Structure 1
């Protein structure tokens, strides 16, 4: 990926509402050239979506939990993936190495919400075992590493 494209992605990652002129000034391109690069980045899949970063506490989801899941052998992995991909509590789902099958990042209004999420997984018989970690605070959270990182 070209250095300019990466810088454009980084700038949009910091503020997806940033103007084309502002981005153009930073990368020394015209607004129309920046717009064309963004269109190409979207078309190739380098940019998958534009989003908003909301304050979890302001939208009543202050609890962050990380859930490690080992799937039951008889659980349908494709079904698990489909359920997790559409579950409103799940922010991230990663297929991982080691003794766990998946690592999930979820948000909930309270600990009862975390417990309800885990109960849902158990009722569907996805879980052979799990481990849940509650985040006490978040020091740093960002989408992508900074340019050149």
Structure 2
């Protein structure tokens, strides 16, 4: 990946609906060169997929919670069942295996406190889960999916 690829990635993260001509003008390439580079960036996995940034409040998901989950030294089947349940639940936006006291950190978006409570009850009751801790976001100063790119590509 060279400097132009990084410029393209930085640009499309913020302007993914722009035309190849607009991207090309921003990075100094022709339409066909932008097309080829985007294909290569997709093939190598640098671009995983295309999506739209959706305002959670506009679609009825105003509740933002972060839940820490502790799993016991339980059988791996139990942890796998928990992780599969997390993968299937659309309200769980992110799941990270983390260091420290907790095993996993979940980012959750729900339509109400009642639906959050039901989801958390299910998580707490999952085999292998020994404890959870949840914090609600009162407001969000910054929320982005834009990945900063190192100048040298590392």
Q: Same fold (TM over 0.5)?
A: yes
Q: Distance in 1 between matches of 2:96 and 2:119?
A: 17
In 1, are the aligned partners of 2:124 and 2:131 still within 8 Å (CA)? no
Superposed CA RMSD:
1.5
Q: Does 1:121 align with 2:119?
A: no
- Consecutive unaligned residues in structure 1, runs of 5 or more: none
Q: Partners of 2:93 and 2:84 in 1: how far apart?
A: 14
Contact 1:42 1:48 in 2 (8 A): yes
Please, what TM-score do these two structures have when normalized by structure 2? 0.89
Q: State how many pairs are aligned.
A: 149
Query: Unpaired runs of 5+ in structure 2?
Result: none
What is the SS of the residue equivalent to 2:95?
A: strand
Moved more, 128-137 or 10-19: 10-19
Pick 1 or 2: higher relative contact order, CA cutoff 8 A, min separation 6: 2
Aligned to 1:40: 40
SS of equivalent residue, structure 2 residue 132: strand
Q: Is the CA contact 1:69–1:102 (under 8 Å) kept in the aligned structure 2? A: yes
Scaled by the length of structure 1, what TM-score is found? Answer: 0.92
Single out whichever of 69-78 and 36-45 deviates more from structure 2: 69-78
> Is structure 2 residue 92 aligned with structure 1 residue 90?
yes
Q: Which residue of 1 aligns with 2:141?
A: 139
Indicate conservation of the 8 Å contact 2:79/2:127, yes or no.
Answer: no
* Counterparts of 1:7 and 1:88, CA distance in 2: 32
Aligned-residue offset at 1:52: 0.9
